[in-house]
Structure 1
């Protein structure tokens, strides 16, 4: 590379790649394109993603349900630093190190990885200086105990699950911080990866919890979680089950954006026990009113106030309900870098506890076909139900 070594004495680059491949959003849909490889500017890092995940928000963007402008998506994954721009110093990772990127900046709205800046679905990506300077690029853990599936599979599990698990860890933190007491019942509303991770993490931390897992309407749950009561959102028995829950109850709402208000309305209207609702899901803007609730609440604004691990004491809102115990709303957008790193260590420490959630592994060449099927609503790829797809970009 033409830049030579930076002032800190660390190597500036590995072998220069003039062009690289990326999955690019085009008017005709997702395409695999060859792009010129950028040179990192002052304060920037150039990464080579190794394994990345496909998130539900990625699918929403590709379906046109979100207005995020990034042409290259992807905010989950593990990458290797291949070049360092001038003026990168201090604790930033060095060339050759494996890293994760925290996708949400706590203050700078111009950085949201894979949403308004280029994401990880590419053989090369530049991380802007604002993210590098503020510590959003963190070192990935080394290999954990080997599993029978082998190191490639284990790396894919860490890459695909570290970011969604970090959201679950942050949700656990904010929900337990604001709840009036330790819950006796957990409701997880959402049958995707975040919902599955939430069930496993909460039960890991609180083994005595009774767990109700509400999944997608009209379908059996994929990979049912042992020891939980699983019901579809349209199951005729669900209302009676919600009415009969004994408290305190904590509910984790991890649905697609289009189903989040319906889930909250069912919980608020039917669960009469003391209730804390942790909002993982995206929400429409503006105040919401429910029958029997004494005040309106802007759930989207409330969720946005807890951003990237700040403030340390989470912002929550408790409102009264006629004929029922109060309900406390809390949520978050993004996590602190240390939480992302912790989640990666949790997964790498015992990949077998999480590996079944990564149902599909594809190459970059095969990814377009698989992702198109998921965008079209097909819950099966290559004849098997898909829960989490990991994409190997490079080694």
Structure 2
């Protein structure tokens, strides 16, 4: 049986960032991906937002890796000419009674090292975005957008340049630990076994299920997987906004917000719908909820302008009514399995944090 140094399961943006970091550190890397190409799961169905780090509990992995990853991501995009824009966003309080929530967001952001927020009153908001009708807002200049596919392509290219190999169309069926590391049973056109001294479970929506197959007796320490579908509706015609617009966060997500792509096309979403298994259908009837939510801060939105877009599913490890969970990067010191690192609950801000997550994993493996 062949033995390699590092096997990464999953070729989404986080798996690719791990591959890049480990290959750059001189490690032998094979990325094993079930689908025929990279970035077809969670990474292909998000808002493509570079988050500043406003919302996450101070000291959490989400807070630290988001802020670190944001700066790494901007620098990488600039260096490689990956399309991006530091467009900024407004977090809006539609009513006066929401102003306290804005102040709480600012305090949390400052505790996370985000010191560039500006408080705007109604008049100042109107000067920035005349179409908005809100009581107040926070301006986050460090928020941006990125071409996520171009980003992933660049991460893959760096990893391959430094020797990483990719096995597409290769689902991991099972695995167990031995005296050297982990043995993976890999499917595809021809099933085979592969031993790796280190295995990184970066399989997104499948991470918890795969964790049960890999962890053996320690599986009782694994989190439960929860799935929250969020749908997006595109705006027909030109949007009257030049920045991203976010409401006060809601349970399970950041509320129905407006994001822009690099061509200026606006979309709204995602909402939150708890589901038992991942599914990506978009019910056009959900548009009525979107109209109601959006008109709290953009009352001039006309009927008929929302067009069904797409859906994404968040790989959550906390369910309805539970406090938001932090990222979990579970190595041997937590679960006791030699050579195994699980990445659980890598939802938003996973895209922003991806390069910092990759560096974190590489340091765990290399000790540097």
Q: State the TM bucket, normalised to the shorter chain.
A: under 0.3
TM-score by length of 1: 0.22
1 or 2 for the larger relative contact order (CA 8 Å, sep ≥6)?
Answer: 2
Question: Quick check: which one's helix share is greater?
Answer: 2
